[in-house]
Structure 1
Amino acid sequence: MSARRGPVTPVGIDELLERVRAGYTRVDAQEAYAAWSAGALLVDIRYQALRERDGLIPGALVVERNELEWRLDPTGSHRAAEATGHDLRVVVICNEGYASSLAAASLHALGLHRATDLTGGFQAWKSAGLPVVPGSEPPTAAPRP
């Protein structure tokens, strides 16, 4: 039997985002690229229609948001091969940098203490002129600089 908690005080999404983002340091597009170049795992959580419309980041692991925790938990039975340990540096990327903040906080709760997200999301990456391939191409591992 689980312990019953008291009533939860409602919080708006803006306050929730502020709270979770205070728990880690977010990165901009250039910092995400540098982290990837140094071995970090980029994880694209955008849904398929956005990936098809806007393109893909070569070398990023595509994991839709509803599967993220199962695929990145290094102790889970459904983990991705890339989920090698709790010390893994992960940069979560959504479309504009909102859902990825909540996703990064969820990864922290799983013990992935180096997880972060990309401020501005995929749109910031693309605007920075960083590598993007058409969304119709299957994601492939791009050589790291």
Structure 2
Amino acid sequence: MIFEQVATGGCQSYLVGCGDTCSAVLIDPEISQVDRYLAIAARDGLRIHYVIDTHTHADHFSATRTLAQRLKVPVVMHRDSPAPFADLRLQDADLLRVGNLRLQALHTPGHTADSMCLLLDDRIFTGDTLLIGGTGRTDLPSGDPSALYDSLFSGILKLDPSLLVFPAHDYKARGSSTIAEELANNPRLQRTERTAFIEMMEHLDLNAPTHLTEALRTNMSGGKSVAQLLAEAATKTPFVSLSELRARIVAGSTDLIVLDVRERDAFDAGHVPGAMNLPRGQLELRVNDALPDPTRRIVTLCQFGKISTLAAATLRELGFLRTSALDGGMAAWTEAGYPLEKAG
């Protein structure tokens, strides 16, 4: 077996391959690590045949759909997953063949209704059902403490105590555990009576994940996060440095349009000398009147350089092919002490 664990903050992903056949599966991939997963697979001579989410994640952005489209492989989830893009839906005890390896799906609802664990030889990938020193929370959409109790005490905790436990999250960089170690040391598993366990889970008083709404939206629908939209826009857009724009402004250059896409009040409070204002929200509606010559060179800017990147990508899609975005924003321009104009 070829095995690689990839940590992204507290999130854990797993690339598991069959050395005999060079077949592999990727479990719980995170969107920021797409290139890393592909590089590891290439390094080890593996071809990824499946990308799997053990459940609908609420605290990070899954890369399953992105990788599935790129690699032309199926997204694998449990049968109860709400994600419309899941291609292969597993039921309890289904086997997934990856070369000579066999991964068995175990339906373990509780953290979410679609949670499943994956049993493979000497190890189990527990998603958020069983963590090292903890369990998945049950206060998020489709969570159920009673179901989690059954999944744990009538399910995976009855498996071979020597099984290695690899969860989808590990915030203390411990890497792995075993069923035996969790039974002995996991404080949540010491509440072995159903009522006591449920009461504990209902009173954990945990903070909501930082990106809860956005993560659930993207992971359930296959939509894109704001970060993805920005990253994609940045790949389609060249940039101009602060110092280069300043030099052109100081030299009185007339060969480019500086387009400030902030709202009017922010523009009036201070802008790059000579800039024109076209708020991002009005861009598509006013672009033909405001920018009649599509051959002009344009540099977009905003407060922090994000909205202007989206605006530049949009303008290029509209045919303004000489559009760039300022690498930075008015905040960086002001901090550098570069010249400002104010309205009135």
* TM, length-normalised to structure 1: 0.72
Name the counterpart of 1:70: 285
In structure 2, do the counterparts of structure 1 residues 35 and 112 end up closer, same or farther at CA, with 3 Å as the change threshold?
farther
8 Å CA contact 1:41–1:91 kept in 2: the answer is yes
CA-CA distance at 1:119 after TM superposition: 1.9
Percent of aligned pairs with the same amino acid:
31
- Structure with the bigger percentage of strand: 2
Question: How many Å separate the matches in 1 of 2:286 and 2:227?
Answer: 27
In structure 2, do the counterparts of structure 1 residues 71 and 45 end up closer, same or farther at CA, with 3 Å as the change threshold?
same
The question of 1:94 aligning with 2:94 is answered no
Written as runs of structure 1 = structure 2, the 5 A alignment for 1:1-145 is 9-34=222-247, 37=253, 39-53=255-269, 55-73=270-288, 79-80=289-290, 83-134=291-342, 136-137=343-344
Question: How many Å separate the matches in 2 of 1:65 and 1:98?
Answer: 11
Q: Give 5+ residue unaligned stretches, structure 2.
A: 1-84, 86-220
8 Å CA contact 2:264–2:277 kept in 1: the answer is no
Write the letter of the residue equivalent to 1:44.
Answer: D
CA-CA distance at 1:129 after TM superposition: 2.3
Question: How many Å separate the matches in 2 of 1:70 and 1:87?
Answer: 19
CA-CA distance at 1:84 after TM superposition: 4.1
In structure 2, do the counterparts of structure 1 residues 65 and 25 end up closer, same or farther at CA, with 3 Å as the change threshold?
same
CA-CA distance at 1:40 after TM superposition: 0.7
Write the letter of the residue equivalent to 1:59.
Answer: G
Write the letter of the residue equivalent to 2:302.
Answer: C
Question: How many Å separate the matches in 1 of 2:248 and 2:299?
Answer: 8
CA RMSD, aligned part only? Answer: 2.2
8 Å CA contact 1:45–1:65 kept in 2: the answer is yes
Question: How many Å separate the matches in 1 of 2:263 and 2:303?
Answer: 9
8 Å CA contact 2:237–2:309 kept in 1: the answer is no
Which structure ranks higher in relative contact order (CA pairs < 8 Å, sequence separation ≥ 6)? 1
CA-CA distance at 1:35 after TM superposition: 5.2
Question: How many Å separate the matches in 1 of 2:267 and 2:335?
Answer: 15
8 Å CA contact 1:28–1:119 kept in 2: the answer is yes
Question: How many Å separate the matches in 1 of 2:278 and 2:295?
Answer: 19
8 Å CA contact 1:86–1:112 kept in 2: the answer is yes
Q: Give 5+ residue unaligned stretches, structure 1.
A: 1-6, 74-78, 138-145
CA-CA distance at 1:51 after TM superposition: 2.8
Count of residues in Structure 1 that have an aligned counterpart in Structure 2: 122
Give per-residue Cα distances to partners, 1:97-131, cap 9 Å, x unaligned: 01111111110111001111112211122223222
Question: How many Å separate the matches in 1 of 2:256 and 2:246?
Answer: 9
Q: Secondary structure at the match of 1:18?
A: helix
Question: How many Å separate the matches in 2 of 1:19 and 1:51?
Answer: 26
In structure 2, do the counterparts of structure 1 residues 85 and 10 end up closer, same or farther at CA, with 3 Å as the change threshold?
same
In structure 2, do the counterparts of structure 1 residues 31 and 38 end up closer, same or farther at CA, with 3 Å as the change threshold?
farther
Which protein is bigger by CA-based radius of gyration? 2
